């Protein structure tokens, strides 16, 4: 694992198009004289503070000071001569509360150290802090404090002015030009990095994690470049906070032209006062590789093979491919496509290999010289098609579902037609299915699109990949039965009920609904003339008043062109 302590050329950074946004920390400082304090655990002999705050009381008053972060959460309290630190997780839940140790120790990840100085609000007009690393030398950096109100001043000591590493510091506080108080603190290394020292370009990115980062850090940046040609490919990438002291970033190789060789990443912390500091540097090696699926399906139509790390001077990359069945009788020399600097792609189309199942072998050649010969993809045709065998037309529709297709499939088409009159009811263009979240493709066959015809419905499934290749992948047959839709029970105050007949032949001239009640035989029979409301669908309306508003069982027969079709009973209450 390589570690680099060399800083980025600042002039080089200024040439980049990345701007560093700085934020002002929102601080609310309150003075209180009577505050109840929750019990806190005593600090260990040596501990590294989670914050960057130092409380200094120069007037010996008993007032308390409260410091809030930018999210309005209390993180530091000064009370009765003690400094209490609170540490929260990403959700704002308290995970630690402790008393700051007498020996002040902070993380090198802090971009600054903040001194909160309590001074006489009446007589104090100016507060300055002189900070140095070596007591034997007079060199120091002066920081002017800002008045926050109620006798509290804040001095921010930017750590970027000091070299990286563990150091002792001495700060002297001056009030109105007079030296009032001295204090010492130490910064120690807490940051740990986690990454792969060797990574393949086929992974597309390298993941870097750092832990031990102070909670006051509001942003972490990961400037990255390759050793080749200096910092011509320098990219500043912002990390993401994933835990109270941990940050993470994915560095994409596409931003560095997929170059082979040594990469360097530096790590900078930022706080909300606009300060930044170099906190770590790492190096790693990027090697070439080949990316391909280990398994595929014939219904996916094709698969891609990508080769990474190809010499930029290579003019042609070929992907000779064949199946293990019958040796190389189906070999195809696929011409590669350059998709990025150093990255080429070959697409293996299954129909060019007789749609064979089994193992597909691909070698990779650059300008007729072998690059890789290890690509083997297992291809099968294991998909699942789900559809009902029989369905009643009164249901209005049924669904065809195809499971097990690759996420690379662009579309699945479901051309559907009935046995009657050939494919006269086939929709053009073919209907597309819908891909559900679980990857299944679903198509709903609506009987309205087929005139509610009864009999056999045919649905074929065609998959289409991103290159426009298509292939039939399923054949389903569903028998749609004529049926009647009605309410089994009706209230007398509803005054009527309807019976709908689905699947009536389009040549039918008349549908009748003779109806009578169970009371006193057929004394109230009435031959109701049906109404055609759409192709294949007729309706009969039974008015209860035509049957003396009787309660009980109503018998309903249905005749299509004087031929008995079905009989149904309805209960009137």
- The three-state (H, E, C) secondary structure of 76-138, written as one string: EEEECCEEEEEEECCCCCEEEEEECCCCEEEECCCCEEEEEEECCCCCCCCEEEEEECCCCCC
CB proximity list for 519: less than 8 A, separation 6 or greater: 550, 552
Helix (H) or strand (E) holding 11: helix 10-15
What are the backbone dihedrals phi and psi of residue 396, each rounded to the nearest 5 degrees, phi first? 90, -25
Residue 87's DSSP bridge partners are: 96
Task: Give the pLDDT confidence score for residue 426 in this predicted structure.
Answer: 95
CATH superfamily ID and name for 384-481: Immunoglobulins (2.60.40.10)
114 vs 112: CA distance, rounded Å:
6
Contact 149, 117 (CB under 8 A): no
Task: Give the pLDDT confidence score for residue 20 in this predicted structure.
Answer: 30
383 vs 357: CA distance, rounded Å:
13
- Number of continuous H segments (helices) and E segments (strands) in the chain: 1, 51
305 vs 210: CA distance, rounded Å:
34
- CATH for 483-572 is 2.60.40.10
Name the DSSP class of 254.
G
What are the backbone dihedrals phi and psi of residue 382, each rounded to the nearest 5 degrees, phi first? -90, 90
- CATH for 192-287 is 2.60.40.3760
Task: Give the pLDDT confidence score for residue 71 in this predicted structure.
Answer: 58
Helix (H) or strand (E) holding 12: helix 10-15
CATH code 2.60.40.10 for 290-380: yes
* The CATH fold of domain 24-188: Immunoglobulin-like (2.60.40)
Same fold: 290-380 with 384-481: yes
Helix (H) or strand (E) holding 14: helix 10-15
What are the backbone dihedrals phi and psi of residue 512, each rounded to the nearest 5 degrees, phi first? -120, 150
CB proximity list for 541: less than 8 A, separation 6 or greater: 496, 497, 498, 528, 531
Torsion, Cα 214 47 60 151, to 10 degrees, reads: 0
And the tokens for 352?
């060019």
Task: Give the pLDDT confidence score for residue 273 in this predicted structure.
Answer: 87
For the chain, the structural domain boundaries read 24-188, 192-287, 290-380, 384-481, 483-572
334 vs 345: CA distance, rounded Å:
10
Contact 97, 84 (CB under 8 A): yes
539 vs 530: CA distance, rounded Å:
5
Nearest to 251 by CA among 304, 303, 204, 307: 204
Helix (H) or strand (E) holding 496: strand 496-502
Task: Give the pLDDT confidence score for residue 361 in this predicted structure.
Answer: 96
Contact 224, 210 (CB under 8 A): no
Residue 501's DSSP bridge partners are: 484, 538
Task: Give the pLDDT confidence score for residue 275 in this predicted structure.
Answer: 93
Strands 397-403 and 441-446: antiparallel
Helix (H) or strand (E) holding 443: strand 441-446
Task: Give the pLDDT confidence score for residue 362 in this predicted structure.
Answer: 97
379 vs 300: CA distance, rounded Å:
9
98 vs 105: CA distance, rounded Å:
14
Contacts of 18-22 with CB under 8 Å at 24 or more apart are 18/235, 18/236, 20/221, 20/236, 20/270, 20/276, 22/270, 22/273, 22/274
Contact 51, 75 (CB under 8 A): yes
Nearest to 109 by CA among 192, 53, 7, 195: 192
Nearest to 265 by CA among 188, 214, 194, 341: 194
Burial pattern 348-382, b for ≥16 Cβ within 10 A else e, equals: bbbeebeebeeebbbbbbbeeeebbeebebebeee
pLDDT tens for the chain, residues 1 to 573: 344 444 454 444 433 333 332 222 223 233 222 222 233 333 333 467 778 888 888 877 766 777 766 556 666 777 777 787 777 777 778 777 777 777 889 999 999 999 999 898 889 999 999 999 877 777 888 999 999 887 899 999 999 887 766 788 999 999 999 999 999 999 989 999 999 999 999 999 999 999 999 988 999 999 999 998 889 999 999 999 999 899 999 999 999 999 999 999 999 999 988 999 999 999 999 999 999 999 999 989 999 999 999 998 999 999 999 999 888 999 999 999 999 999 999 999 999 999 999 999 999 999 999 998 889 999 998 889 999 999 999 999 999 999 999 888 999 999 999 999 889 999 999 999 999 999 999 999 999 999 999 999 999 999 999 999 999 999 999 999 999 999 999 999 999 999 999 999 999 999 999 999 999 889 999 999 999 999 999 999 999 999 999 999 999 999 999 999 999 999 999
Task: Give the pLDDT confidence score for residue 2 in this predicted structure.
Answer: 41
Contact 118, 78 (CB under 8 A): yes
Helix (H) or strand (E) holding 560: strand 552-560
Nearest to 355 by CA among 477, 476, 463, 440: 463
CA atoms within 13 A on the CB side of 234: 17
Q: For residue 355, give the 3-state DSSP assignment.
A: coil
And the tokens for 244?
């109270």
Contact 366, 311 (CB under 8 A): yes
């Amino acid at each position: 694992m390589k570690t680099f302590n060399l800083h980025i050329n600042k002039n080089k950074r200024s040439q980049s198009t990345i701007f560093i946004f700085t934020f002002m920390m929102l601080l609310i400082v309150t003075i209180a004289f009577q505050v109840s304090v929750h019990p806190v655990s005593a600090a260990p002999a040596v501990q590294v503070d989670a914050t960057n705050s130092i409380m200094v009381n120069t007037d010996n008053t008993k007032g308390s000071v409260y410091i809030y972060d930018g999210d309005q959460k209390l993180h530091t309290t000064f009370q009765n001569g003690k400094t209490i630190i609170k540490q929260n997780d990403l959700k704002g839940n308290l995970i630690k509360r402790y008393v700051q140790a007498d020996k002040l120790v902070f993380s090198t990840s802090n971009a600054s150290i903040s001194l909160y100085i309590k001074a006489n609000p009446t007589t104090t007009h100016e507060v300055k802090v002189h900070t140095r690393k070596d007591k034997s030398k007079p060199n120091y950096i002066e920081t002017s404090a800002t008045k926050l109100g109620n006798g509290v001043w804040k001095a921010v000591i930017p750590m970027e002015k000091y070299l990286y590493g563990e150091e002792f510091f001495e700060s002297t506080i001056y009030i109105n030009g007079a030296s009032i108080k001295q204090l010492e603190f130490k910064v120690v290394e807490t940051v740990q990095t986690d990454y792969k020292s060797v990574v393949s370009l086929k992974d597309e990115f390298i993941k870097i994690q750092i832990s031990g980062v102070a909670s006051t850090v509001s942003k972490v940046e990961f400037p990255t470049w390759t050793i080749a040609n200096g910092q011509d490919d320098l990219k500043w990438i912002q990390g993401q906070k994933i835990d109270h002291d941990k940050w993470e970033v994915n560095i994409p190789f596409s931003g560095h032209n997929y170059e082979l060789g040594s990469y360097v990443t530096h790590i900078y912390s930022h706080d909300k006062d606009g300060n930044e500091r170099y906190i770590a540097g790492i190096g790693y090696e990027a090697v070439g590789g080949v990316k391909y699926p280990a398994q595929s399906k014939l219904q996916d139509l094709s698969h891609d093979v990508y080769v990474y790390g190809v010499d930029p001077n290579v003019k042609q990359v070929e992907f000779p491919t064949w199946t293990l069945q019958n040796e190389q009788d189906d070999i195809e020399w696929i011409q590669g496509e350059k998709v990025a600097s150093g990255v080429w792609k070959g697409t293996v189309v299954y129909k060019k290999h007789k749609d064979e199942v089994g193992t597909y072998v691909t070698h990779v050649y650059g300008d007729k010289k072998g690059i890789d010969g290890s690509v083997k993809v297992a291809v099968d045709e294991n998909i699942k098609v789900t559809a009902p065998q029989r369905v009643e037309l009164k249901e209005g529709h049924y669904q065809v579902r195809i499971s097990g297709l690759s996420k690379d499939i662009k579309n699945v088409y479901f051309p559907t037609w009935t046995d009657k009159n050939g494919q006269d009811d086939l929709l053009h263009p073919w209907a597309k299915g819908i891909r559900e979240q679980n990857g299944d493709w679903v198509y709903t066959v609506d009987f309205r699109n087929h005139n509610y015809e009864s009999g056999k419905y045919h649905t074929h499934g065609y998959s289409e990949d991103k290159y426009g290749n298509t292939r039939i992948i399923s054949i389903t047959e569903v028998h749609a039965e004529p049926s009647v839709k009605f309410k089994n029970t009706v209230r007398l105050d509803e005054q009527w009920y309807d019976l709908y007949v689905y699947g009536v032949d389009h040549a039918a001239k008349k549908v009748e609904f003779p109806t009578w009640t169970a009371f006193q035989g057929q004394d109230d029979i009435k031959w109701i003339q049906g109404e055609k409301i759409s192709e294949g669908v007729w309706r009969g309306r039974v008015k209860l008043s035509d049957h003396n508003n009787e309660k009980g069982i109503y018998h309903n027969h249905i005749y299509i062109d004087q031929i008995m079709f079905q009989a149904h009973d309805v209960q009137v209450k």
